[in-house]
Amino acid sequence: MAFTPRQYPAVRMRRMRYDSFSRRLMRETTLTVDDLIYPMFVLPGNEKAQKIDSMPGIERVNVEDLLREAEELVGLGIPAIALFPVIPAAGKSENAAEAYNPEGLVPTAVRALKSRFPELGVITDVALDPYTTHGQDGLINDKGYVLNDATVEVLVKQGLTHAEAGADVVAPSDMMDGRIGELRGALEKQSYINTRILAYSAKYASAYYGPFRDAVGSAANLGKSDKYSYQMDPGNSDEAMQEIALDLAEGADMVMVKPGMPYLDIVRRAKSEFQVPTFVYQVSGEYAMHMAAAQQGWLNETAVMMESLTCIKRAGSDGILTYFAKKAAQHLKQT
């Protein structure tokens, strides 16, 4: 039977919007706590928690405080957290050797978390920027160019160290070519067959990472250099599809688009073309923008938080890494 389009006044779109109950019934996308991943900044030793000026409400915490926070996150029902280490100058070098130290900060934090909260998913970042003196995600030559294959070798060692410590998910955020395949091969060989790989597949060279670089302290190391030779040009979309296809072929279980809000067309396209678990990183700059406006009284913090996350999900994201994860989970619990 052919569908005959009906017209006003038979059609009044506002009828379904009239009551809360019918708005609820027709709602296509609802954010739940199952959609949330909380990125956290970890300090070594017993350093006291530190505020991050450009990320109000977010702190760098030591492992003991991390465990305390994790207990709260588990209580809220947050499925997973993503760890980002704050590495002091003494841990940084040209060859990023600290990145694969089995007694390093990340493996230590992972072991502590997994022994206390085995049900909480732990995601680790595979990239060298916290560990290099120059702040690049990989090893560089004398011209400052990030070397692909030499970097991949180190990334594989780093990823294996994380898996050995008990990380459930390793997440390469470095954008080197071929790293997913090499890492997957190494994990299989070492019998870490259930370690999941979340590939930062479509990671753009974005100015929205600024507050994150403040948080992990890599901004000063990076100085005036940029990441254009490995992260993607914001003007591109086909290239993102190719990156995703390659990462999937190499053995990624999940793919990611990053940042979120200015890149939701990429998310929709990725979901339509690949139908695989697709994640979005609502990055530090997005968080900072929302918080800055909220602090000025220009935006309603809770409302824009929930709207931004719901819209990321509507675009096709299965899960969202967001600094709002805890606040959103608290809000969802109350309502």
**Residue 327 falls in the annotated catalytic set:** no
* Cβ-based nearer residue to ligand PBG, 78 or 283: 283
CA distances from 253 to 195, 207, 247, 298, 299 (A): 9, 27, 9, 40, 37
Examine residue 232 and tell whether it contacts ligand PBG (CB under 6 A): no
Stretch that binds ligand PBG, among 205-213, 236-244, 309-317, 326-334 (CB under 6 A): 205-213
| Binder of ligand PBG out of 136, 151, 284, 317 (CB under 6 A) | 284
Residues 105-144 binding ligand PBG (CB under 6 A) are 125, 127, 129, 137
Contact between 139 and 99 under an 8 Å Cβ cutoff? The reply is: no
CA 137 to chain centre: 15
Dist. CA 43–CA 60, nearest whole Å: 6
Render the burial of 10-32: b for 16+ CB within 10 Å, e for the rest. eeeeeeeeeeeeeeeeeeeeebe
For strand 50-51 and strand 59-62, is the pairing parallel, antiparallel, or unpaired? antiparallel
- 238 vs 256: CA distance, rounded Å: 15
Nearest approach in angstroms of CB 286 to ligand PBG is: 8
Told to judge if 203 belongs to the known catalytic residues of this protein, a careful annotator would answer yes
Number of residues that bind ligand PBG (CB under 6 A): 11
Determine if residue 164 is labeled as part of a ligand binding site: no
Applying the rule CB under 6 A, the residues between 254 and 283 that interact with ligand PBG are 283
> Among the options 92, 157, 227, 258, which is catalytic?
258
Please state, in angstroms and rounded to a whole number, the distance separating the CA atoms of residues 178 and 34: 31
Catalytic residues: 203, 258
Annotated binding-site positions for Mg(2+): 243
* Binding interface with ligand PBG (CB under 6 A): 125, 127, 129, 137, 173-174, 209, 212-213, 283-284
